[in-house]
Structure 1
Amino acid sequence: MVGDLRSFYKDTFVLRPSKMSSLIVRMIMLVIATVCGVYICSVCLKQINPQTKSSIEVIERLGISCEANHLDYPYLHFPQPETFSRAECAGNPVRFFVIITMQRSGSGWFETLLNSHMNVTSNGEIFSNKERRDNISSIIRTLDKVYNLDWFNSASKNECSAAVGFKWMLNQGLMDYPEEIVEYFNRRGVSAVFLFRRNLLRRYISVLANSFDRYAKILNGTHKSHVHSPEEAETLSKYKPLINSTSLLSALKEAEFTMAQALANFNSTRHITLYYEDLIKNHTKLVDVQDFLGIPHMNLTSRQVKIHKGHLREHIKNWDDVNKTLNGTAYAKFLQLDY
């Protein structure tokens, strides 16, 4: 009897702690699982939010469309040039860009501003050469060479480049293969900078004057599309084109349509839209450009001097005819002094 009692109490004292310890272990495991779950959820939320913010958001503000957040993959690149070594800069990312524009829209001046940045290389009108835009294959080969940093000119920063691109005119093959080029831009992470003029009449005058000087060569027998002194600008501005008032409206409509078509064709790319007049009147717009390209802020400068200043009546030979033609139309606003 005593032995049975001892066995009973022994079993009791052995079994109860086992049940209690099992319960405690389960509670501890439940607490640990809960804590881990909360931690994992918080980490996931932190990872999801930046990805959501890093998605491309195009925001319209004062004529500028741009991504509001920091640049991220796939817009950061680490090129490996075949013609030189990036040396200590090999680990520094490079952004790819293209300036999409039309002749006499201020793109030459704008490009000199970009190239005044110590880390930006803009290679000019590389597709002014017809052989490079002969077909889509030659275009892709040229683009690959530019974005691999194997394209050299006086503006090249080589291993120090943080942003590299060039200027592409709408009439230089860009509009001939829009789907293939958009696919390339999106695949390679190329950002587009649209640069146009609001006042298409001023652009038209500049086109006519530049075309005239191409043959007349007013500056000591030399043709210059851009000048660096007030004296040269004054000399070129003395020429006043005679505008065909009969075809003027159709010419302005054609330019307007071409701009709209370009924006529509390349709307799916990461892009920013700028207007020459806005840049002239407000240089803080250049800060937006530097933010868009993901480069450090610098004071951008250019030596170029504007040719056609002041009211347009001073630069059109048959001003009265042009004024009469545009008054009462949607283009009458072009007759006013806008900057």
Structure 2
Amino acid sequence: MTDSHIPPPAPFVILAMPRTGTHYLEELLNAHPNVLSNGELLNPYATTWPDKHRLLRSDRELLELAYSCCPAQSDKKATHVGCKVNEPQFHDRPGFFAELTRWPGLRVILVVRENTLESLRSLVQARQTRQWLKFRSDNDAPPPQVRLSTADCEAYFKAADDFHARVVRSFTKSNMLEIEYECLLREPATCLAAIWDFLGVPALRFSSTATLQRQEMRPLEQTIENFHELRRHFSHGPYARFFDVGERGRAVAID
């Protein structure tokens, strides 16, 4: 900001496990004239960040880039600027999370997917196909089926639980808003209304103009080759609910 009389944009961050609809959420947020979310700060391939060498900076310098320099991708006059970080991206920068918690006035939007198995399935599919997003102009061919090991499932489920608990533990309730992935897809207008109120920006009427599309429309038992084997393994533990093939288990949406 060049005018010292204009306050800097208020900072926010979107935190989530991979494949939880955060790209879709950012697309909706950026439709607001006062909100600018600049994508994955710690992703070296993110095209929203013109500084290709930014990850050589310290954690503090990265956050200053995100919230003080904030590379605007449009001419909008943003009063709130943000970025997003997925859980695995913290692994390469173990001190970054702590630095994030110290950023003054930071608002945190935590996106949680009810069925963590769907998140893992989608992540493996995306890695295999190298197709991370699907737009309206793309073909309608479904992603390939995947095969998951019990060890990978257990590790991923635990990582999700630990990450969600860490976020809730590290930020005050008044500075954090949890958004359910499934609610975002079923009732985007309701979720956005909660976000506008949380950020403190004027309410914006929801308009369904998103270009991102669902990548996977099939239920879990049709997308995971060894689904029934995994269901038997987890049937008596805390993660049995992820293998429910009833109406809730059949819910699929944008990855």
Give the TM-score category using the shorter length: 0.7 to 0.9
Contact 1:242 / 1:318 at 8 angstroms: preserved in 2? yes
Q: What's 1:313 paired with?
A: 221
For residues 147 and 213 of structure 1, the distance between their equivalents in structure 2, rounded to whole angstroms, comes to 33
Residues 1-339 of structure 1 mapped to structure 2, 5 A cutoff: 80-81=1-2, 91=6, 94-129=9-44, 132-134=54-56, 138-153=58-73, 156-158=74-76, 160-173=77-90, 175-183=94-102, 185=103, 187=104, 189-214=105-130, 224-229=131-136, 232=139, 234-235=140-141, 237-267=142-172, 270-283=175-188, 284-298=190-204, 299-301=206-208, 302-336=210-244, 337-338=247-248, 339=251
Partner Cα separation in structure 2 for residue 333 and residue 164 of structure 1: 37
> Can you give the 5+ residue segments of structure 2 that lack an aligned partner in the other structure?
45-51
310-319 vs 105-114, which deviates more?
310-319
Q: Is the partner of 1:121 in helix, strand or coil?
A: strand
Secondary structure of 2:39 counterpart: coil
Contact 1:200 1:252 in 2 (8 A): yes
> 1:251 corresponds to which letter in structure 2?
Y
* Aligned-partner Cα distance in 2 for 1:240–1:277: 22
Name the SS of the counterpart of 1:305 in structure 2. coil
Q: TM-score, normalised by structure 1?
A: 0.62
- Return the letter of the residue paired with 1:190: L
SS in 2 for 1:124: strand
1:172 positional shift: 2.5
Q: Looking at CA atoms only, which structure, 1 or 2, has the larger radius of gyration?
A: 1
One-letter amino acid matched to 1:297: A
1:134-177 CA distance string (max 9 Å, x none): 5xx62222322332354133xx344x112111112223246534
The alignment's TM-score, normalised by the length of structure 2, stands at 0.80
Change (3 A) 1:150 1:334: closer
Query: Which protein has the bigger helix share?
Result: 1
Gaps of 5+ in 1: 1-79, 215-223
Pairwise CA distance, 1:91: 4.7
Contact 1:97 1:192 in 2 (8 A): yes
Shift of 1:208: 0.4
**Larger RCO, structures 1/2 (Cα 8 Å, 6+ apart):** 2
